């Protein structure tokens, strides 16, 4: 796999699986890059896409809690961000991206959240 991390998105992983258990960087390669389900901004994800060439990313609960939620492809992320920037004027660089069903109400005067739960291949329960 050219030294890139690999997660078989066709594999079955129980809900208690931690991303690092199933996706490991190649020897001497860069550290594992993940997406958190409700803590990253549009800008964070755009930076991740700009700085890496991975074809997809594991989605985890948080940086501290690396339990695997699902997997999202680079292409789906790029298309969703491009579409949101064009069609949702209140989605901006500091909008929080949610890959979960628990999305807080929009704050008055704050950036609109971006809901991308539908993009991820979910881990089976």
Query: What string of H, E and C letters represents the secondary structure of 76-97?
Result: HHHHHHHHHHHHCCCCCCCCEE
pLDDT tens, 73-106?
A: 999 999 999 999 999 988 999 999 999 988 887 7
State the pTM of this model: 0.75
Q: 38 vs 4, 53, 120, 124, CA distance in Å?
A: 25, 22, 13, 19
pLDDT tens, 2-37?
A: 444 555 555 665 556 665 565 566 667 677 789 999
CB atoms closer than 10 angstroms to residue 2: 7
Radius of gyration of the chain (CA): 15
HSE, side-chain direction, 13 A CA sphere, residue 16: 0
Q: Which domains does the chain have, with CATH numbers?
A: 19-122 (3.10.580.20)
């Amino acid at each position: 796999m050219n030294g890139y991390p690999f997660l078989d998105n066709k594999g079955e992983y129980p809900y208690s699986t931690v991303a690092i258990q199933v996706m490991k960087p190649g020897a001497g390669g860069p550290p594992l890059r993940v997406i958190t389900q409700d803590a990253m901004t549009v800008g964070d994800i755009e930076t991740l896409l700009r700085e890496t060439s991975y074809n997809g990313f594991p989605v985890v609960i948080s940086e501290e809690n690396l339990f695997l939620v699902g997997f999202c492809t680079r292409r789906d992320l790029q298309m969703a961000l491009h579409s949101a920037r064009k069609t949702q004027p209140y989605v901006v660089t500091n909008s929080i991206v949610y890959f979960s069903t628990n999305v807080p109400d929009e704050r008055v005067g704050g950036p609109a959240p971006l809901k991308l739960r539908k993009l991820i291949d979910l881990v089976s329960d």
